[in-house]
């Protein structure tokens, strides 16, 4: 039976340590509360600074259902404004990316600088003396900050810093960027935009589904390589790990079974380092940066698929910067930005793109099957005679490290429990 939240004391009562009530994924009133209590309060991922490299470059992004213009002003500073004319609310920016000195509202011509100041109001004589343009600039998003080029925003004027919010996840955002010899990735190769008829929280971290949801991916790897890849990478016997980093941030540590070999790929999703001058130049650059061949190979092995979920709306998986946009309880959009490496031969980034397309996007060989499962989840969860989902896997076997991470086998539901615990904390 449907949960009417007005009858409940707290949302947190829908989350237990080893099980979750399906209303968390299906109830529209809970979704509205999620926008207010999570997306309009916590730090959320907004954009990458490489999307707006020059003064005047802008891009529009979403925080929940609020559209935001992220713009690099004439002074080189990145700012974020709500896309709403202060006069009557029309959006002042129509495009997803571009270059602009000014944003002019199409309704009555109010004009804003790319630093957000209101600089032009037509026929001003009909406003009184108390009309102050200084007070009517585009409303800035209360806070924004960046880590390694990843720009986050918070609609809360006060609260924990971005560094506090990211906690242990910051290290892995850095590791993702460290796959690039420049220490920064570049998001200038477009966005793969998808939707599915299901709840945004299904875009989680799950090391248990691979052999089943992605059976064809494993079959294709076997077909390409001539031998079966190690299906045990994704079983209860795998040395790979699920990790709860705290704060809802979590990851799959797949590095134990990853091997960096020039000219060979253990994952068609990632491509290989080609046995070419371009590949050799990449390795030389990484060795120069990290001091030795062993250190460089170790860095590449750990960096090229950090498989990180930064709660609530960012994932770094393989080469993808994946951004989750909640639209309603049963409808979600996901934007995937392939992250290119800086200062490498074009062929490396071209391989990265082709490997990205192999798995990701709306016609790839992997992600569509995930979204198919998410849609079937949504249908299934409306059957709530038995409304509790079982998230107990590995619960009794996990380890806690000295620095407070919870670590389990790759198939354990450490990651889901991490996110749900944070959800309960945020929703109260």
Partner 1 sequence: MSTISSDISVRSRVEAFLDHEADCADRHLYSEWLELWSPTGTYWVPCNADDYDPRHHVSIIYDDYQRLQERCFRLSAEGAHAQDPPSRLCRIVGNIQFDNEACSDDGELHVRANMVLVEVRSGLKTVYAARLEYRLLLVEDAFRINLKKVMLLDNDEALGNLTFIL
Interface residues with partner 1 (CB under 8 A)?
A: 96, 189-197, 213, 215-216, 219-220, 223-224, 333-335, 338, 346, 349-350, 353-354, 356-358, 361-363, 365, 368-369, 371-373, 375
Name which of 163 and 363 has its Cβ closer to partner 1.
Answer: 363
Q: Cβ 363 to partner 1, closest distance in Å?
A: 4
Contact predicate 121/127, CB 8 Å: yes
**93 in helix, strand or coil?**
coil
Q: Cβ 217 to partner 1, closest distance in Å?
A: 8
List the one residue out of 137, 100, 132 whose CA is nearest residue 118: 137
Q: Which long-range contacts (CB under 8 A, 24 or more apart) does 318-323 make?
A: 318/267, 318/269, 318/270, 318/355, 318/356, 318/359, 318/360, 319/270, 319/352, 319/355, 319/356, 320/356, 320/360, 321/48, 321/150, 321/185, 321/187, 322/203, 323/45
Q: Provide CB contacts within 8 A for 143, sequence distance 6+.
A: 153, 154, 156, 157
Calpha distance 243→309 (Å, rounded): 10
Name which of 159 and 368 has its Cβ closer to partner 1.
Answer: 368
Calpha distance 14→68 (Å, rounded): 32
Question: Residue 154 CA to chain centroid, in angstroms?
Answer: 15
Name which of 156 and 363 has its Cβ closer to partner 1.
Answer: 363
Q: Cβ 346 to partner 1, closest distance in Å?
A: 6
Calpha distance 20→48 (Å, rounded): 33
Name which of 138 and 217 has its Cβ closer to partner 1.
Answer: 217
Name which of 137 and 368 has its Cβ closer to partner 1.
Answer: 368
Angle, CA of 142, 145 and 146, to the nearest 5°: 155
Name which of 4 and 372 has its Cβ closer to partner 1.
Answer: 372
DSSP 248: T
Calpha distance 316→320 (Å, rounded): 6
**204 in helix, strand or coil?**
coil
Name which of 302 and 304 has its Cβ closer to partner 1.
Answer: 304
Name which of 211 and 395 has its Cβ closer to partner 1.
Answer: 211
Q: Cβ 47 to partner 1, closest distance in Å?
A: 16
Q: Cβ 337 to partner 1, closest distance in Å?
A: 8
């Amino acid at each position: 039976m449907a949960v009417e939240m007005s009858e409940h004391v707290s949302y947190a009562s829908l989350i237990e340590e080893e099980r979750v009530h399906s209303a968390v994924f299906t109830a529209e009133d809970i979704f509205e509360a999620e926008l207010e209590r999570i997306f309009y309060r916590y730090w959320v991922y907004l954009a990458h600074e490489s999307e707006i490299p020059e003064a005047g470059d802008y891009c529009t992004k979403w925080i929940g259902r609020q559209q935001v213009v992220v713009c690099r002003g004439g002074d080189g500073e990145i700012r974020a404004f709500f896309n709403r004319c202060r006069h009557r609310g029309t959006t002042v920016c129509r495009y997803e990316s571009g270059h602009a000195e000014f944003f002019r509202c199409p309704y009555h011509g109010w004009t804003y600088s790319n630093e957000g100041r209101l600089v032009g109001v037509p026929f001003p004589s009909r406003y009184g003396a108390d009309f102050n343009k200084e007070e009517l600039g585009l409303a800035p998003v209360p806070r924004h900050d960046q880590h390694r080029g990843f720009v986050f925003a918070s609609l809360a004027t006060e609260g924990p810093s971005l560094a506090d919010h990211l906690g242990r996840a910051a290290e892995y955002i850095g590791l993702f960027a460290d796959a690039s010899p420049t220490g920064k990735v570049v998001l200038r190769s477009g966005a793969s935009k998808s939707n599915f008829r299901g709840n945004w929280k299904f875009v989680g971290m799950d090391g248990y589904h691979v052999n089943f949801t992605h059976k064809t991916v494993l079959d294709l790897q076997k077909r390409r390589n001539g031998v079966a890849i190690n299906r045990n990478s994704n079983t209860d016997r795998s040395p790979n790990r699920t990790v709860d980093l705290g704060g809802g941030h979590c990851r799959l540590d797949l590095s134990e079974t990853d091997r960096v070999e020039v000219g060979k790929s253990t994952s068609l999703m990632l491509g290989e380092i080609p046995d070419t001058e371009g590949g050799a130049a990449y390795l030389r650059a990484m060795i120069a940066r990290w001091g030795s061949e062993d250190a460089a190979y170790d860095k590449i092995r750990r960096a090229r698929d950090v498989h990180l979920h930064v709660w609530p709306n960012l994932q770094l998986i393989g080469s993808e910067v994946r951004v989750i946009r909640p639209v309603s309880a049963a409808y979600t959009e996901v934007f995937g930005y392939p992250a290119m490496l800086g200062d490498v031969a074009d062929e490396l980034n071209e391989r990265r793109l082709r490997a990205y397309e192999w798995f990701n996007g709306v016609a790839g060989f992997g992600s569509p099957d995930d979204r198919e499962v998410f849609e079937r989840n949504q249908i299934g969860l409306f059957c709530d005679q038995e409304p509790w989902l079982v998230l107990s896997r590995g619960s009794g076997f996990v380890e806690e490290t000295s620095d407070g991470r919870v670590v389990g086998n790759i198939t354990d539901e450490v990651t889901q429990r991490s996110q749900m615990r944070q959800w309960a904390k945020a929703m109260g």
